[in-house]
Amino acid sequence: MIDKDYVCADRGTVREWTQIKVTVPTEKLDTLTAVMSMVSNNLMIEDFSDIDLNTCYGELIDESILNADTSHASVSVYLPAEDNCAEQLEFIRDRLAASGIEGKVEVVGVNEEDWADSWKQYYKPIRIGKRVVVVPHWERYDAQGDDIIVRMDPGMAFGTGTHETTRLVMQLLEDYTKKDCRLLDVGCGSGILAICGAKLGAGLCRAYDIDPVAVRVAQDNIQINDVQDKVSCDESDLLASVSREGGEYDIICANIVADIIIRMAGDVASYLKDDGVLLASGIITSRGDDVVRALEDGGLYVIERREDNDWCAFAFGKKRS
**What angle, rounded to 10 degrees, do the helices at 164-176 and 192-199 form?**
30
Per-residue model confidence (pLDDT) at position 219: 94
pLDDT of residue 11: 34
Domain 165-318 adopts which CATH fold?
Answer: Rossmann fold (3.40.50)
pLDDT of residue 160: 58
State the pLDDT at residue 8: 31
- The pLDDT assigned to 3 comes to 24
Torsion, Cα of 231, 235, 239, 241 (10° steps): -100
The sign of the CA dihedral 25, 31, 37, 38 is negative
Domain 16-120 has CATH 3.40.50.80: no
Distance between CA atoms of residues 144 and 126, nearest Å:
13
CA distance 229 to 134: 20
The amino acid at residue 314 is F
The segments of the chain whose pLDDT lies below 50 read: 1-13, 53-64, 156-157
Q: What is the pLDDT of residue 246?
A: 92
pLDDT of 57 reads 36
pLDDT at site 198: 97
Residue ranges matching CATH 3.40.50.150 in the chain: 165-318
CB contact at 8 A, 243 and 220: no
Maximum Cα–Cα distance across the chain: 60
Where exactly does CATH 3.30.70.120 map onto the chain? 16-120
Are the C-beta atoms of residues 88 and 79 closer than 8 Å to each other?
A: yes
Positions of E strands within the chain: 16-25, 43-46, 72-80, 104-111, 126-128, 132-136, 148-152, 182-186, 204-209, 231-235, 249-255, 272-284, 300-308, 311-318
Q: At residue 24, what is the residue type?
A: V
Q: What is the pLDDT of residue 12?
A: 43
